[in-house]
Amino acid sequence: MVKKDQVTNGKINKNSNIEDDKINSLCKFSILNTFELYTPQTPISTATTPTNGANNNGDLSDESRKIKIYSKIKDEYEPVKDLPTQSFAKKAAATNNNKQKTTTDKPTIEEEDTKDIDNIINNLPSQKDEKRRKIDSNAISLYNHNVNKDTRGGSLALVNGYEPLQYTKPDWHAPWKLMRVVSGHTGWVRAIAVDASNQWFATGGGDNTIKVWDLASGELKVTLTGHVSQVRGLAISARHPYLFSVGDDAKVLCWDLECNKQIRSYYGHHNAVNAVALHPTLDILFSGGRDKDLRVWDMRTKAKIFEIRGHSDAITSIAAQNADPQVITGSNDQTVRLWDLASGTCAATLTNHKKSVRALAVHEKEFTFASASADNIKQWKCPDGTFIKNLSGHNAIVNALALNQDNVLVSAADNGSMQFWDWKTGHCFQKNQSIVQPGSLDSEAGIFAMSFDKTGTRLITCEADKTIKFYKEDENASEATHPVVDWRPSRDEKRY
């Protein structure tokens, strides 16, 4: 600090000795501390001794050095702070045994620095669990925490305490091939149902008829006439000798297969009926169509139990099961609805689809089902309709779904394309294109309906070229001749 009486003619007196010693001392030690801070490897010694505040500056330099080391260790070595204790403890013990000291000399400067660094490492904050990637049994993750295996490989994943997850690989399924082609309808074949005895099946088409076929030979057994418009849906009772049919004439008919004639008609629909289903254990019949209502009928008395409203467009597919939800419907309003049969109300509405839902398939063993649309095939979990995953890749208007006991899901579209999926992983293991019969246009390759037989070894499709095609597994195929190819675990699992 310079006083006024020491300034003459606007200039500072050079011989001023006010606080020169203190200022010079502070400047020297500031330069020294700065030099030591940025060049810690070269120790600097001076003949001068710090005075007054110089000791505080030395403490600050030590604190700065510790902060620097702390930051560097935290940034670069925190991921490997928590090391596995088994193999590394053995290596550390072996290293300490080889480096045992024979003297009891005073610790050197390097040893003191090492102790300081060890103290800093021990004081580092431990990794928080929320920073680690959470592992879900159904989600796909890169690493799994809490590894108890030996880390002999020395990989970074194991050092960090992570283990690569073993992805669930798809089960091997034999490829399917065309077995037989049956002709008999004079119009599009729109519906199919297989009898519980697995001896015959029925089809309905645009020729307004219902035809019953022998499943083993494919021969026509009987033709039923009674509809005045194309038949859209069929259902065969497993407990009664009854066949139920619906069509564009707004009729719901019951056929007695012992005498091959119509015995009942259920009145109530005001427009075309697209789908029909039977309850597995109760004498209840479900039907739905363009009038947007789901109707529940008493099979024996023809009484209408419920007329459930909720869809804003035509109902295209119906599925029924024993447990709740006992009725599932898909509609052109892009929704899937789960219905409470006891109260006759909607239990849940699934709005994940972006296009019309045209087909449903219920798994016989699992408590799950699938819905098909032009945007995706989606898997759901009952009873709340929890979304499981998407089966993406069938880029067409999917009209039909079929699922067998071997977890093979088949989707068929209006352009004749078929895709075979592994139900567990959603992997498409085969793609097939239907071939139209001679004399038909290529545009008549569409598939409207299909079903597995009761054993799940035969697939029957109803197509626009007026034929019925049978598919079966290739008996000569094996995992060696037809391995699982083009399967990659998806890292982009959508949640909707």
On average, the pLDDT of the chain sits at 81
**122 Cβ contact partners less than 8 Å away, ≥ 6 residues apart:** none
Q: Do 121 and 159 belong to one domain? A: no
> Are 146 and 158 in contact, with CB atoms under 8 Å apart?
no
448, pLDDT greater than 60: yes
Q: Do 259 and 150 belong to one domain? A: no
Number of folded domains that form the chain: 3
Q: Do 54 and 141 belong to one domain? A: no
Report pLDDT for 428: 92
pLDDT band at residue 125 using 50, 70 and 90 as cut-offs:
low
Could you give the 3-state DSSP secondary structure of residue 108? coil
Q: Do 234 and 379 belong to one domain? A: yes
**484 Cβ contact partners less than 8 Å away, ≥ 6 residues apart:** 169, 170, 172, 427, 429
pLDDT band at residue 50 using 50, 70 and 90 as cut-offs:
very low
Measured from the Cβ of residue 236, the count of other Cβ atoms closer than 10 Å reads 21
Q: Give me the DSSP letters along 288-345.
A: EETT-EEEEEETTT--EEEEEE--SS-EEEEEE-SSSS-EEEEETTS-EEEEETTTTE
What is the C-alpha to C-alpha distance for residues 355 and 349, in angstroms, rounded to an integer?
A: 15
In a domain, 486, yes or no: no
In a domain, 395, yes or no: yes
In a domain, 74, yes or no: yes
Q: Do 29 and 159 belong to one domain? A: no
Q: At what angle do helices 54-77 and 20-38 cross, to 10 degrees?
A: 20
Q: Which of 5-19, 345-359, 412-426 has the lowest mean pLDDT?
A: 5-19
In a domain, 148, yes or no: yes
pLDDT band at residue 120 using 50, 70 and 90 as cut-offs:
low
Residue of higher predicted confidence among 165 and 275: 275
> Are 318 and 294 in contact, with CB atoms under 8 Å apart?
yes
In a domain, 495, yes or no: no
In a domain, 467, yes or no: yes
Q: Do 143 and 237 belong to one domain? A: no
Q: Do 162 and 115 belong to one domain? A: no
Q: In what order do the strands lie in the sheet with 428-433?
A: 398-403, 408-413, 417-422, 428-433
> Are 211 and 222 in contact, with CB atoms under 8 Å apart?
yes
132, pLDDT greater than 50: no
487, pLDDT greater than 70: yes
Report pLDDT for 54: 45
Q: Which of 90-104, 213-227, 362-376 has the lowest mean pLDDT?
A: 90-104
> Are 243 and 233 in contact, with CB atoms under 8 Å apart?
no
Q: Do 75 and 222 belong to one domain? A: no
Q: Do 220 and 153 belong to one domain? A: no
Domain range for 332 = 176-473
Q: Do 460 and 428 belong to one domain? A: yes
Average pLDDT over residues 109-117: 58
pLDDT band at residue 441 using 50, 70 and 90 as cut-offs:
confident
411, pLDDT greater than 80: yes
User: Six-digit token pair at 209?
Assistant: 């008829």
For residue range 7-26, list pLDDT tens digits in order. 444 444 555 566 677 788 88
Average pLDDT over residues 264-270: 94
In a domain, 430, yes or no: yes
Q: Do 359 and 385 belong to one domain? A: yes
Q: Domain of 410: which CATH number?
A: 2.130.10.10
Share of the chain above pLDDT 70, in %: 72
What is the C-alpha to C-alpha distance for residues 115 and 340, in angstroms, rounded to an integer?
A: 70
In a domain, 488, yes or no: no
Q: What share of the chain is helix, strand, coil (3-state, %, to 5)?
A: 15, 35, 45
For residue range 186-211, list pLDDT tens digits in order. 999 999 999 999 999 999 999 999 99
For residue range 343-352, list pLDDT tens digits in order. 999 999 999 9
Q: Do 213 and 261 belong to one domain? A: yes
97, pLDDT greater than 80: no
What is the C-alpha to C-alpha distance for residues 247 and 271, in angstroms, rounded to an integer?
A: 9
User: Six-digit token pair at 12?
Assistant: 């500072």
Report pLDDT for 25: 80
Q: Which residue has the tokens 């796909």?
A: 140
pLDDT band at residue 68 using 50, 70 and 90 as cut-offs:
confident
Bridge partners, residue 377, by sequence: 372, 391
